[in-house]
Structure 1
Amino acid sequence: MSVAAGNCIDELNREWGVLRHRQVPADWPEGGTLGEVFGRIADDPDRLLGQLLARQAAGDRLAARVVLQAMLGKLVLLAARDPQHSIAEYVTECWLQICRYPLARRPQRIAANLALDTRRTVWAGEQPTVSLDPQVLNDLAHSAGPDAITVIRNATRLGLIDRSAAACLVAVYCLGLRSHEAAQRLSISADLVRWRNARSIRRLAPHAAVLAAA
């Protein structure tokens, strides 16, 4: 894995270094911190991953984030064996697989299923369900506010995205830069630009009404 490709994993691990100390919501079936829940997954993977995916299906993105963290090791191995696709492509696709995982139909071997589905989709060359076309954020802006830059500013102020994610969105969706051009300006990899933008769009879309009120 190249240093540039590794930036995606570094970013996730830095984020997890903060999240792991957070207490889980009171209505989670497992108590403790996110890190403690994560640490129990290896001993009872299908039960705990199933609980997290069920919460994700109800709109709990924090639960989905724990599942993604649990999958990172497998994703790194898959990308290391694949000379054609980047780790960021695997991470983005795995996130999408987590968000649409058919838990009722496939309650067993969840981690293996996620890894296989991710690899199959990446190798098939399918486009992710989250479009990275600049029109996406413009459409969100139309429903949430006067323009894309206002949406990004409001989202940052409300804590829906951080400044690094906002910078990537501005570069691509407001300045019209391509991913590699934005990467040069921000001193990161193009894969990380694409991954941050895909994650941010998924995070912002459900909050259009909140952004409009802001």
Structure 2
Amino acid sequence: MGVAELVREFEWLSETGAPRVAAWVDRHPALAGCVNLADVVEAVRTDPDPVLQALLREVGAGCLLAARVVLQTMLPKMIVMSRSDRGAFVMDYVAQLWLRILAYPLDRRPRRIAANLALDTLKAVQAERRPGVVLLEPHRFAELPGMVAPDPPRETRGLLRTALDRGLVDPHTHAVLTSVYAEGCSDKEAAGRYGVSPVTIQRRCQRGVRILSAHAVELADAL
């Protein structure tokens, strides 16, 4: 997925997001007057901290759509940051931003939220380039006991979809894992598809498999 796909995805989400926005408005005065997701994005631009606080409260309650709205509001900043970074692509920034949104410590850092997210994302992208990263070979995915049989594209898709639905992996990690382990893309092919480097693909796979391994029993029971 690239920036264009993210924009199209958000447009699609906006077509069905009005009921969720109405529920947010009932709970958060900062969102008063918002009818659809585009209104929420505009509200962030007008009065960032109160609106982002409201959205992040919803994220903390498990609402991934709220996280997606925060990401959308930050997308222009991610594009600008990536253009000045020769060692990373825009989707590297987007993926790290998504993780920062999901884990943002709102109670400790309720002010300058957008700036904090941008800085945390930059630090995370830079940290990925530090030496000592252990790269994961694709065949390691089949080592998860009791979860994946040899050459199981259908089962693998189901496993990864379950992990996504349960919030164990973010949408970008899910997409990368699906490309590599269900569709058989090479690191280079997946890198071209998502606009990142092959090393970044391997890092995503490593992180994703580590998460799946930690939740192996839960996922096996759900399949």
Query: What TM-score do the two structures reach when normalised by structure 1?
Result: 0.69
Partners of 1:166 and 1:53 in 2: CA distance: 22
Query: What are the within-5 Å matches in structure 2 for residues 47-66 of structure 1?
Result: 47-66=50-69
* Aligned position for 2:3: 9
* Aligned position for 2:187: 179
Unaligned runs of 5+ residues in structure 2 are 166-172
Q: Which amino acid aligns with 2:196?
A: D
Partners of 1:27 and 1:169 in 2: CA distance: 33
State how many pairs are aligned: 194
Partners of 1:44 and 1:213 in 2: CA distance: 42
* Aligned position for 1:41: 44
**Alpha carbons of structure 1 residues 23 and 125: separation in structure 2 relative to 1, 3 Å:** same
Query: What TM-score do the two structures reach when normalised by structure 2?
Result: 0.67
Q: Give, in angstroms, the shift of residue 97 of structure 1.
A: 0.8
Partners of 2:58 and 2:114 in 1: CA distance: 16
Q: Which amino acid aligns with 2:3?
A: I
Matched, 1:87 2:108: no
Q: Which amino acid aligns with 1:120?
A: K
Matched, 1:27 2:35: no
Q: 1:69 aligns with which of 48, 67, 72?
A: 72
Q: Which amino acid aligns with 1:12?
A: L
Structure of greater relative contact order (alpha carbons < 8 Å, 6+ residues apart): 1
Contact 2:89 2:197 in 1 (8 A): no
Q: Which amino acid aligns with 1:93?
A: Q
Contact 2:91 2:194 in 1 (8 A): no
RMSD: 4.1
Contact 2:41 2:69 in 1 (8 A): yes
* Aligned position for 2:157: 152
Q: 1:191 aligns with which of 191, 196, 201?
A: 196
Q: Give, in angstroms, the shift of residue 40 of structure 1.
A: 1.1
Q: Give, in angstroms, the shift of residue 23 of structure 1.
A: 1.2
Q: Give, in angstroms, the shift of residue 108 of structure 1.
A: 0.5
Contact 2:156 2:181 in 1 (8 A): no
SS at match of 1:112: helix
Unaligned runs of 5+ residues in structure 1 are 1-6
Partners of 2:39 and 2:196 in 1: CA distance: 30
Identity %: 33
Q: Which amino acid aligns with 2:35?
A: G
